[in-house]
């Protein structure tokens, strides 16, 4: 495997290893609890959610409720939406490093924002202490059911023969669907035009109404449309087919250029606290989530949201953030994407 292939594989390895950790092995670390962790927590924990009500908010409430019981303190949800999650993330970065403020973070804010903005009010690599991954989701590339293109290979062939004729709608510039589309363009060497909308809902309406040809959206959002026959999924942007959509091929199965992981886009979520938080408190929070994530009730609740539950070590979460930051920086730079306001 060459250097580029190894870099492309890193995010998938991090996610797979996090998902595959035997829970019982992690329990061993919790058998001897340092004195600091024994006295923690002695007051409610604030859980910042950088998004409005939706799947991420529901996930955070599940995680918070599962942590509250073993910690013996309320975990209070603090919704702080805005700026694609950056307002809430920044607030968490500036919190006291005492373990009483945690935040749920995603790839957009933690791995993509450093390349989308020239200047941030926080540094994802320095201002946070990762605790654990908690869930992941998958992304699909699809067209409306009446579209003449039937397969991903047909799409690529048509795009190469007709550069600039196809377009893809997304929830906005710099959002994961936009970056996923740019990644697909880069790997397959095709020219399709990006059409940003003000949100995923308007983008889907645009697709169904014939304004755009293609869309990339996560599984929970598009699954009802697939089941209703309104859209046709051409490929899942993952290394394997999804159990919920066994007849939808992976991008690799349809297009040779999409090596096993080169077109893969996995949406991940994890909990973090501010940098400088004592290590034994981080380990306590990690151990409690690992225990909770292993419970059938927890897994069922997360799966009902359309997500796959995860648990892993702080080091694995940190490794994933680093690998994803490098990966998306290349795509963002190559597509010349920026969310900075133009100079007046």
Q: What is the pLDDT of residues 142-183, one digit of tens each?
A: 999 999 999 999 999 999 999 999 999 999 999 999 999 999
Question: Using 50, 70 and 90 to split pLDDT, how confident is the model at 74?
Answer: very high
φ and ψ of 214, to 5 deg: -130, 150
**pLDDT of amino acid 305:** 87
As a whole number, mean pLDDT of residues 302-324 equals: 94
92-137: pLDDT as tens digits: 999 999 999 999 999 999 999 999 999 899 999 999 999 999 999 9
Whether pLDDT at 32 is above 50: no
Q: Give CA–CA dist 332/174, Å, rounded.
A: 8
Whether pLDDT at 258 is above 90: no
Q: Give CA–CA dist 103/274, Å, rounded.
A: 9
Q: Which of 263, 227, 257, 304 is nearest to 141 (CA)?
A: 263
Question: Using 50, 70 and 90 to split pLDDT, how confident is the model at 257?
Answer: confident
As a whole number, mean pLDDT of residues 242-249 equals: 94
H-only helix segments in 48-110: 55-71, 86-93, 107
Q: What's the half-sphere exposure (Cβ side, CA atoms, 13 Å) at 278?
A: 15
Over the chain, what is the mean pLDDT? 89
Question: Using 50, 70 and 90 to split pLDDT, how confident is the model at 30?
Answer: very low
């Amino acid at each position: 495997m060459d250097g580029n292939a190894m870099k492309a594989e890193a995010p998938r390895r991090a996610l797979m290893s996090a998902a595959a950790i035997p829970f019982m092995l992690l329990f061993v670390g919790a058998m001897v609890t340092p004195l600091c962790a024994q006295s923690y927590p002695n007051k409610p924990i604030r859980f910042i959610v950088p998004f409005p009500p939706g799947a991420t908010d529901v996930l955070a409430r599940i995680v918070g409720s599962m942590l509250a019981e073993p910690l013996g303190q309320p975990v209070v949800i603090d919704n702080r939406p805005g700026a694609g999650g950056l307002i809430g993330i920044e607030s968490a970065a500036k919190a006291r490093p005492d373990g009483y403020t945690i935040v749920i973070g995603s790839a957009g804010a933690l791995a993509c924002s450093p390349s989308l903005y020239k200047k941030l009010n926080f540094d994802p690599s320095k201002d946070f202490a990762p605790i654990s991954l908690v869930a992941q989701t998958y992304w699909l590339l699809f067209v409306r059911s009446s579209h003449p293109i039937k397969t991903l290979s047909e799409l690529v062939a048509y795009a190469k023969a007709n550069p600039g004729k196809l377009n893809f709608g997304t929830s906005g510039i710099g959002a994961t669907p936009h970056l996923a589309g740019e990644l697909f363009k880069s790997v397959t060497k095709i020219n399709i035009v990006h059409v940003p909308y003000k949100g995923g809902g308007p983008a889907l309406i645009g697709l169904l109404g014939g304004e755009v040809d293609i869309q990339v959206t996560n599984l929970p959002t598009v699954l009802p449309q697939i089941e209703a026959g309104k859209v046709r999924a051409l490929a899942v942007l993952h290394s394997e087919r999804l159990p919920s959509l066994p007849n939808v091929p992976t991008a690799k199965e349809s297009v040779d250029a999409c090596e096993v992981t080169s077109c893969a886009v996995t949406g991940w979520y994890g909990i973090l606290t501010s940098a400088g938080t004592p290590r034994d408190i981080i380990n306590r929070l990690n151990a409690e989530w690992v225990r909770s994530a292993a419970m059938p009730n927890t897994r069922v609740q997360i799966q009902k949201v359309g997500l796959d539950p995860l648990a892993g070590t702080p080091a694995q979460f940190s490794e994933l953030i680093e690998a994803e930051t490098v990966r998306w920086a290349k795509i963002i730079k190559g597509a010349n994407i920026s969310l900075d306001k133009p100079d007046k």
